[in-house]
Amino acid sequence: MLALSATACGADQPPSLFADGTVQVGTKNDQPGTAVVRNYKFSGFDTAVARQVLKAVDAKPDFGIVPSEDRRAVLTDKTKDLVVATYSITVDRMKDLDFVGPYATTYEGLMVRKRDNRIKKPDDVNGKRVCTWPGTTAANTLESPRYNRIQVYEAPDASTCINDLKVKKTADAVSIDQMILYGFTQENPDLKVVPDITYGSANQYGIAMAKGHRQDCLKLRDALRNYLGDNAWSQDFATSLPSIPKADATWETDFKPRLETVDSLSCRDRPGT
């Protein structure tokens, strides 16, 4: 009976996400510096992180494109095994998904046209049209009554916001995480990040997966801890997002997570428990 019980219990366990050596990973395709597709190849810091942690568990990523608003759905419907797509760890999201992270920390910020000097401090944004897109924490943050003098609107995606800002000029600014904004400036030198404007609390980017794979989650957490403790994290970050070290002398302190934060947010149903 004991042998039968053990066999039955083992059968109830889901197979490891790493069992066949290839993991289906959802990421973005329109965020230079973090995740972009060029000549059918995925590149950027998100993809570097995915490759590094999966290498540590003898697996490799098979990347696919996932829009911001679909990141949760592709995990819960098993279309993707992992999502590594500048996906912020939040208390609400931890109820439905497991996260490994953070692998990067950033505040929400503001990007404007390079020659537009009207916006330098937070009050300058009042009355201005600010573009963001669905499924982002920026959209939720700017809905707060605290920012009700800002004319916030949602475009379908990041590319539309960029076009509204630099081509159509129907937007005065774009708001999303600073890490993402700096990436945009690398391919759009006529745009700039406003350094002294941030919104909300720090966003912690995590590797997301469906619940039910806690052992796999813990393996990735250990891989991430080793990655953060090694110089490889800094090398990958600076290679993917060279605009940040150029603009921020303390970029490693500002964007690199602490190991205790990784422990408190990884593979948990709520922070620190």
CATH of 107-201, one of 3.80.30.10, 3.30.1330.60, 2.30.30.230, 3.40.190.10: 3.40.190.10
pLDDT of residue 141: 87
* Tens place of pLDDT per residue across the chain (273 aa): 444 443 344 446 689 999 999 999 999 998 999 999 999 999 999 999 999 999 999 999 999 999 989 999 999 999 999 999 999 999 999 999 999 999 999 999 999 999 999 999 999 999 999 999 887 878 788 888 889 899 999 999 889 999 999 999 999 999 999 999 999 999 999 999 999 899 989 999 999 999 999 999 999 999 999 999 999 999 999 999 999 999 999 999 999 999 999 999 999 999 986
For domain 20-105+204-252, the CATH superfamily is Periplasmic binding protein-like II (3.40.190.10)
**What pLDDT sits at residue 1?**
41
Residue appearing with tokens 């760890």:
89
pLDDT per residue as tens digits for the range 61-84: 999 999 989 999 999 999 999 999
Under a CB-based contact definition with an 8 Å cutoff, are residues 107 and 177 in contact? Answer: yes
- The C-alpha angle with vertex 27 and arms to 176 and 102, in degrees rounded to 5, equals 65
- Cβ neighbourhood burial of 19 (10 Å; 0-12, 13-18, 19+): exposed
pTM: 0.91
Where are the domain boundaries for CATH 3.40.190.10 in the chain?
A: 20-105+204-252, 107-201
For residue 186, CA distances in Å to 68, 74, 260 come to 21, 29, 32
